[in-house]
Structure 1
């Protein structure tokens, strides 16, 4: 019996849980079955969800490929051969080094992921007690995070190396709580951003988005009290004269990327781009730069099409899961889902501000002759900072969109350089590098390293307290915001908020 269950789990893990398009499709299928939809509505919704997420992935993948000449150029032409901050490089570093450093098999990561996910489900099932309302559904992200958490906790608590059971319990509790608490922090902000679309973000920068959105909200309130208009949202700003072309996000993205990509590609030069295989010998450099830069706008449009294709199916079907299995719950999804809401220009501005922050931080490490140098990966620099930009703009406008992704970019580089060098992951060429794992998890690691099991208890207590404090701050609306958003909005309007 155990062998059969193990086989079923392996099939589910290999083909559904870690394949986000199939996992989203599975949830839509389950939700519509629980809602007792007709077979053709269920089939249609499931296919749209899978195809929509595949379109989103094609857009995301295209963005990464478009950015590759810059990353390769920084590494090869300017000899920045160093640790890459990127989720996939981080996962590869754990696979390459965990057995050599700790004598542990990487296969334990899969078991950790399963137990942590079950922990998340249990916490949400008892939401009236735990006050946790979101299920972390981004399986590929869960695998990346489980990998890095595996290394960090083994480093902080070396006594766990000899006890697989204790190791998995400690890791699953902390990681499961992190998933549930982090995505829960963004429920209100996500509902307000999307006008009650019924999802939250479950990704690599949840605490970062929550912190910067909160700061943006505070900054906007302070500015309004002083009669300032600097917190005006990007979509509410009408640019005059020739600058009105930037009111169109596709044009704005194309022009800004042409300036950003163009400058770097010109610095790399045609001989290098040909030698690296990005350009053909007879190709015109000017038109190569224009085409490469404008592809960014193309892939961003594809990504947003993918979001529109599947998000309505996911939120409608999840009602079946929340009604029947997890009352009041919402799905936690990929951060790219937020790019279909608010100002599209906030995506580009947030990305560029974060890239400047990362660039300054990397230059600082080089100037200080840091023993660990960092090469920016596209995933943190874009998906962290663009998402922070979208949420910050919704609460604090253009000023927040410029300031907070820039600060996030600094944190991503400095935090990753510190933690990866300290725990030894830098020697294997990569670290996850996204905001929570450059700031929040290094703090967790320090606490566990110096307080041992008391540190584990402290982290667990703090994570359990966070949703309780959220609930106490607004008992009347805490669950209402997911159960009846229209009523929540009506109450907020009555309060004048």
Structure 2
């Protein structure tokens, strides 16, 4: 028994929680099942793993460039606020568990493993459950497991036993990962022209809602690619030029507000890519910081193209041999290369404006909880919403929905900080605002009955999806016409 536990623990820590190797392993298994030559199997494993590592480097660079700005703003204006960012949220949740529920430290990792196997089981029983997606974004699972743990611990009866807590949290995580990613199958197939994958990240419910509501808010023909610009503005159809210029304006204003004294203070800027080296011109530093954003965005796109291509091809082996009719649910950044190149930036700006307006309203109405925007929600959530919205309802839908997302992220994030009594931050991504904050209230007020109710809701959702499908057989193929 100890040997099995050690194997599972090794798998959880070294594979499941390391998405690059997890994706590489899936590609290796998939190509092996397709009986590819060993050298093709090896090459596919390398390209998928390295491609995901490239994506990780780019995503990490984007975050590390932006996050120190939050620290500097907090220092300059003496803001005591919670940051809506999954990494801040992960830290806040772990600290809360350690201080108030010390006997439950570490159960999120075990719950994560249980949740993954629950997801596999739901896909294996797809004819009954109607679930088609396997959530394989390991680092996201780690973040969500911690926050969901804190929410489930609002139920008094769950607090009586670490074993019961681990099982209840694991089952709930598995249901969420399977069901929420299942909602994105049709929207993602529409976006990617049947690309063979779904989204497994932090905004699956939002993507499903966007796909449904966007056609009512605008016309898909009026998308960002078809916007007619004055001749001199046509340069902004180039993603590199558009992103560099936009970030030069955005970061330039903020960095000049902060000033060189703060940005050269090693006691303030202790991490990230924002510290000004000695003797460098502040003006040139601002330009370099802005252009760095474009560099990481370009790198991210390259990584996406590498691993998505290998994963979708290799997953045919798993889909045909092990889990027929299944789709891999991958990082939302995989969708960025299939929509309008400028939709990513459009969503980022629209969502950021929505967030900033809501933060101003919190200050104006003297909210006891103040929120600071975090880069991960404002970029990844709102960029994804804009990409999917632009595909279905054009630029108007992209503008409206990413703006509303920004409002929800801040306002519901403030509610979550109060509900969970967190210090320093909350998860912040749109799915962890809606539906998870309402779920937390259900757990708090209806306790174990509320938990059962939420589990039943998750099981019901794919049944409703299947029932509404025009072609029942095509449902398992992810046919975007359903």
Taking structure 2 as the reference length, the TM-score comes to 0.95
Unpaired segments ≥5 residues, structure 2: 270-274
Q: Which residue of 1 aligns with 2:11?
A: 12
Asked whether 1:312 is paired with 2:309, we answer: yes
Q: Which residue of 1 aligns with 2:443?
A: 448
1:286 to 283, 287, 292: 283
* 8 A contact 1:239–1:247 mirrored in 2: no
Taking structure 1 as the reference length, the TM-score comes to 0.92
CA drift of 1:218 comes to: 2.6
Q: Which residue of 2 aligns with 1:174?
A: 172
Aligned ranges 1:48-447 → 2 under 5 Å:
48-155=47-154, 157-220=155-218, 232-275=222-265, 276=268, 278-425=275-422, 427=423, 429-447=424-442
* 8 A contact 1:104–1:161 mirrored in 2: no
Q: Deviations over 1:460-494 (max 9, x none)?
A: 22222211111111240x552663x7xx57xx5xx
Q: Deviations over 1:322-381 (max 9, x none)?
A: 111111000000011111111110000101111111111222222222222222221111
CA distance in 2, matches of 1:74, 1:375: 10
Unpaired segments ≥5 residues, structure 1: 224-228
Which shifted more, 166-175 or 125-134? Answer: 166-175
SS of match in other structure, 1:437: helix
2:467 to 468, 472, 477: 472
CA distance in 2, matches of 1:272, 1:305: 34
Q: Which residue of 2 aligns with 1:32?
A: 31
Large movers: runs of 4+ above 4 Å:
none
CA distance in 1, matches of 2:167, 2:63: 36
CA drift of 1:76 comes to: 1.1
CA drift of 1:281 comes to: 4.9
CA distance in 1, matches of 2:473, 2:54: 33
SS of match in other structure, 1:165: helix
SS of match in other structure, 1:188: helix
* 8 A contact 2:44–2:310 mirrored in 1: yes
CA distance in 2, matches of 1:304, 1:50: 15
Question: What count of residue pairs does the alignment treat as equivalent?
Answer: 475
Q: Deviations over 1:202-226 (max 9, x none)?
A: 0111111211232112323xx6xxx
* 8 A contact 1:238–1:247 mirrored in 2: no
Q: Note the aligned Cα RMSD (angstroms).
A: 1.8
Q: Deviations over 1:25-48 (max 9, x none)?
A: 111111112112111010000000
Alpha carbons of 1:68 and 1:164: their partners in 2 closer, same or farther (altered >3 Å)? closer
Q: Deviations over 1:159-190 (max 9, x none)?
A: 21112333233222222111111101110000
SS of match in other structure, 2:342: helix
